[in-house]
Amino acid sequence: MNSNSCAELITEVRHHYSWPQNQGEVLSARSERTLFRFDDEVIKIHARETLAEELDARLELISRSPWNQIFLQPIKSQSQTLRQGRIMSQWPFAEALTISEDEIPWHKCGKLLAELHQIPIAVNNFPFSLPIATAAKRWQKSIAELKSLNFIDHRLKAPWLIVEEMTAKLTLPKIYSARTHWIHGDWHLGQLVREKSEQKSEMNLKLIDIEDMGLGHPVWDLARPGAFYAAGLLDPEDWSSFLNSYLTAGGPAFQARRNETFWEILGPAVEVLSLQCAAVGLRKAYLEERSLGDDEQAFIETCARILRWKNTTQQDKEFL
């Protein structure tokens, strides 16, 4: 988003809420959304493709019990529309949980997701259509955006060819399309905040960013940490802490398995998120006219390893 467009949106937000034009701060401004803080409130201006009806269903849903124990609560459970047609929602300010922290509570992350995934689906209790998680669509969008760029004779052509081949050989189990549980749909550490607590020593974590939440398969919420683990960007002890706490708390992602191993269920989702992260990083490097960063290169290398395995014959796999 260019500075002029962002400034226009913020001016309209201030006018909408009758806030002084010289106060408040932009917390984040991306092409798809903008976050603006004024005192203890945060206004989220959602992506252009956001539909008010779908967002309102999610806002009302998380305002109910037991979702209200898991998600940060909105100030209003209904979206509002700016004159430009952009949809916005209103939230209390909460401290973000950043990756740079020395001790990330992975065990609490796993427990929180397990609690979300175990909420019963009560179809008859809602006056609106139940939202469908968009996790399965996000990676496709990332690939589509990448394919719109021209990598012919480009210095990033080699990693692009890896992503292209990986996309062609990707296969997903039918179970991944199941709408059997409530899931976040785009879970990573950036989707966590510390809710204000009277006891500062307590870490009361809440989920944020509800645009992708809804009914889906819980494996999608475990896939991105799995992709970071596969790329060597998540410490094995942290990965084990996250996964063990999820399973100990009753996380249902693997309960339906029969003769399938743990990685046979999770592995394809990790491949998808590895591909998605590689595509996002590659597109960003292309647009910024630079080489791949270390983390971005790590996901490309993960995709390359997956391809080598996919290209290995079954006989060789059995030997290995």
**Which pair of structure tokens corresponds to residue 271?**
């491949």
β-strands 192-194, 205-207 pairing: antiparallel
Which residues of the chain does CATH 3.90.1200.10 include?
A: 94-319
CATH classification for the domain delimited by 94-319, as one of 3.30.565.10, 1.10.340.30, 3.90.1200.10, 3.40.50.720: 3.90.1200.10
Architecture of domain 1-92: 2-Layer Sandwich (3.30)
In this prediction, residue 202 carries a pLDDT of 61
Residues paired with 92 in a beta bridge: 41
Provide the pLDDT for residue 318. 54
CA distances 176 to 139, 163, 179, 212, 216, Å, are 13, 21, 8, 15, 8
Q: Read off the pLDDT of residues 50-94 as tens digits, 9 standing for 90 and up.
A: 999 999 999 999 999 999 999 999 999 999 998 888 999 999 999
Mean pLDDT of the chain: 89
pLDDT reported for residue 100? 61
User: Is the pLDDT reported for residue 198 higher than 70?
Assistant: no
Summarised one tens digit per residue, pLDDT across range 304-315 is 999 999 888 555
Burial 241-254 (b: 16+ CB within 10 A, else e): bbbebbbebebbbb
Q: Which of 70-74, 220-224, 245-249, 261-265 has the lowest mean pLDDT?
A: 261-265
From its phi and psi, is residue 27 left (phi > 0), alpha (psi between -120 and 50) or beta?
alpha
| Range(s) within the chain of domains with CATH label 3.30.200 | 1-92
- Neighbouring CB atoms inside 10 A of 2's CB total 9
Q: What is the pLDDT of residue 176?
A: 87
Instruction: List all residues 6 or more positions away from 198 whose beta carbon is below 8 Å from its beta carbon.
Output: none
Q: How far is residue 77's CA from residue 154's CA, in Å, rounded to a whole number?
A: 47
The pLDDT assigned to 183 comes to: 97
Instruction: pLDDT band for 262, please (50, 70, 90 cuts).
Output: confident
Residue 320: pLDDT band with limits 50, 70, 90: very low
CB 214 within 8 A of CB 133: yes
Model pTM? 0.90
- Best-predicted range by mean pLDDT (23-32, 41-50, 297-306): 297-306
Position 285 confidence tier, pLDDT thresholds 50, 70, 90: very high
In this prediction, residue 11 carries a pLDDT of 86
Instruction: Residue count of the chain, please give it.
Output: 320
